[in-house]
Structure 1
Amino acid sequence: MSSKTSALASFVESAPPGELTNVTSAIKTITGDNSLQSLAPAFQKYNEEQFTTVKLPGGSQSVIISSHNSLGDGRYYDVESQSSFAFDHSTQKASDVQSHVLESSQGDLVKSLLKSLSTHAQEHYPSSSLGVYPTFDDTSIAVVFVANKYSPNNFWNGRWRSQYIFAPSSGTLIGSIKVDVHYYEDGNVRLITSKPVSLSVSGGSAAEVTRQIAAAERMYQEELNRAFGSLSEGAFKGLRRQLPVTRQKIDWEKVGGYRLGQDIGGGRSR
């Protein structure tokens, strides 16, 4: 991979929630459409890691793109709609929907978890998508959850991602919770957090797995709320720039021409 392609790929892979289209448009403006072909692996990595959601042609619900429900060759499947589809990673569009029947020894538990966790998602998240899939070795179950909140008119976007691997034989539930929020009015502030989760599920029922996941996510939400409160009263206050004594905001486009003492501070320059 050339240094140019590597640099462009890093822009794609680090795109904030809901802003991949903006990043892609910027790349096309700077380098032209041809450069996008070499970025196919970066688009795929972004979509699978960020749990990009897409509506299938003729469908109303959004389904998740992840490595757990990949069939290879750009195709993915959805358990709830019992369908597979082709996905274009650069345009984030789905096509060629076909019937797909889940064949797994974990099939009954997958469907039970999907039903139980859907209730949890509807109760606690205003806009979310859920995927439950057997792992490729068919010994465990992957739970993938994403909730997006986009408000570009107010210059912010956010994403909550949860990912868990449940092993019924051992009762272990291991995963992580990730939050990514971008605020970009008159500047850029981005919060990226990650919380590892390691739990033991007794009984192994769908209801108990859901209860454990709900408790872990509620606890992390409370931790974030406390952290935000501390930042607001502490570190953020230290970052705020006080207005000069002139009570005029600094024009950053002309900052190079200011005389520091007189023009900004309001005092006499020497």
Structure 2
Amino acid sequence: MSRTAALSSFIDSAPPGELADVTKAIKSILGTESVQNELSPAFQKYNEEQFTTTKLPGGSTEVLVSEYNSLGDGRYYDAETQSSFAFDHAMGKASAVQSHVLESQQEDLLKSLAKSLSTHASEHYPKSSHGVYPTADDTALAILTVANKYSPTNYWNGRWRSSYVYTPSSGTITGSIKVDVHYYEDGNVRLLTEKKVALSVGSGSGAEVMRKISTEEKKYQEDLNRAFGSLSEGAFKSLRRQLPITRQKIEWEKISGYRLGQDIGGGRR
């Protein structure tokens, strides 16, 4: 494996909200700034796959960066603000905003879906960014949502991503839901899950399409809750010692009288 490929793999596996930390670690190890240009394709791949969000200069809302709203040459567009912008993948900043009017044969359906998606996101993902974009051949619509929650002071970060392609001619929705959570206090624990989605809705309205999607996402969240319940009573519980090595429960009211490493640890006096 080449150096570039090896370093790109680190970028590709960066947890939510920690790309800057990973990049800083790579630079500190290699002691060079040239790595930023070397890894430019890796930054772009990461940002587009992770639905990285950015604020437009002078704007207040976060807009998405993805392959679906790419105009090429490092520029992307936002349908809601009817604008396009340049995006620096290494720095994560937008610039050079221009007017951009989206043209699509699916315009009415796109607007209907965007409205329903906005309502859905505000109800279930308060801190999220989303968008509806025509595919390259303009025969289908991509429906994207990303919700980030970062809490580095508590040593955890998380991201929800859902992406679907709705094809009106066949009445089908295909896509996936991805959840990525990283907890790193005194260690590293990471949850990476993906659920493939395949639904049939017929030639429905934007509201009907979003009802199908909403039902699927709710079901997946309930499945995750049940899985965590099973883990806490099963695998996670078995990871911690239920009794000290002496096999005796600690009498907490007498804790000041214990001699650490002997009475608790079972060592000889």
- In the superposition, the TM-score normalised over structure 1's length comes to 0.90
Q: Percent identity?
A: 72
In 1: Cα distance, 2:174 partner to 2:245 partner? 55
Letter of the 1:38 counterpart: E
In 2: Cα distance, 1:122 partner to 1:27 partner? 37
In 2: Cα distance, 1:17 partner to 1:114 partner? 25
In 1: Cα distance, 2:93 partner to 2:28 partner? 21
Shift of 1:128: 0.5
In 2: Cα distance, 1:211 partner to 1:10 partner? 37
Instruction: Indicate the residue corresponding to 1:133 in structure 2.
Output: 133
In 2: Cα distance, 1:237 partner to 1:4 partner? 41
Shift of 1:125: 1.1
Letter of the 1:19 counterpart: E
Letter of the 1:18 counterpart: G
Instruction: Indicate the residue corresponding to 2:79 in structure 1.
Output: 79
Instruction: Indicate the residue corresponding to 1:191 in structure 2.
Output: 191
Q: Is the 8 A contact 1:202 1:208 kept in 2?
A: no
Instruction: Indicate the residue corresponding to 1:257 in structure 2.
Output: none
Call closer, same or farther: CA 1:242–1:204 in 2, change over 3 Å.
Answer: same
Letter of the 1:16 counterpart: P
In 2: Cα distance, 1:61 partner to 1:192 partner? 27
In 2: Cα distance, 1:54 partner to 1:25 partner? 20
In 2: Cα distance, 1:211 partner to 1:195 partner? 18
What does 1:124-203 correspond to in 2, within 5 Å? 124-203=124-203
Aligned length: 255
- In the superposition, the TM-score normalised over structure 2's length comes to 0.90
What does 1:98-109 correspond to in 2, within 5 Å? 98-109=98-109
Instruction: Indicate the residue corresponding to 2:254 in structure 1.
Output: none
In 1: Cα distance, 2:114 partner to 2:196 partner? 22
Call closer, same or farther: CA 1:95–1:246 in 2, change over 3 Å.
Answer: farther
Q: What whole-Å deviation, never above 9, does each CA across 1:87-146 have from its counterpart, x for those lacking one? A: 000010000000000011011211111111100000011210001000000000001110
Q: What whole-Å deviation, never above 9, does each CA across 1:61-80 have from its counterpart, x for those lacking one? A: 10000000000000000000
In 2: Cα distance, 1:58 partner to 1:26 partner? 31
- What secondary structure, in the 3-state scheme, does the structure 2 residue paired with 1:36 have? helix
Letter of the 2:89 counterpart: H
Call closer, same or farther: CA 1:208–1:9 in 2, change over 3 Å.
Answer: same
Instruction: Indicate the residue corresponding to 2:121 in structure 1.
Output: 121
Shift of 1:8: 1.0
- What secondary structure, in the 3-state scheme, does the structure 1 residue paired with 2:101 have? coil
Give unmatched runs, 5+ long, in structure 2.
Answer: 248-260
Q: Is the 8 A contact 2:169 2:203 kept in 1?
A: no
Letter of the 2:148 counterpart: N
- What secondary structure, in the 3-state scheme, does the structure 2 residue paired with 1:10 have? helix
Instruction: Indicate the residue corresponding to 1:6 in structure 2.
Output: 5
Q: Is the 8 A contact 2:86 2:97 kept in 1?
A: yes
Q: What whole-Å deviation, never above 9, does each CA across 1:157-206 have from its counterpart, x for those lacking one? A: 00000000000111000110000000000000000000011000133210
Shift of 1:244: 4.9
Letter of the 1:67 counterpart: E
Q: CA RMSD in A?
A: 2.0
Call closer, same or farther: CA 1:147–1:90 in 2, change over 3 Å.
Answer: same
Q: What whole-Å deviation, never above 9, does each CA across 1:2-47 have from its counterpart, x for those lacking one? A: 6222111111110000000111111111112111211011101100
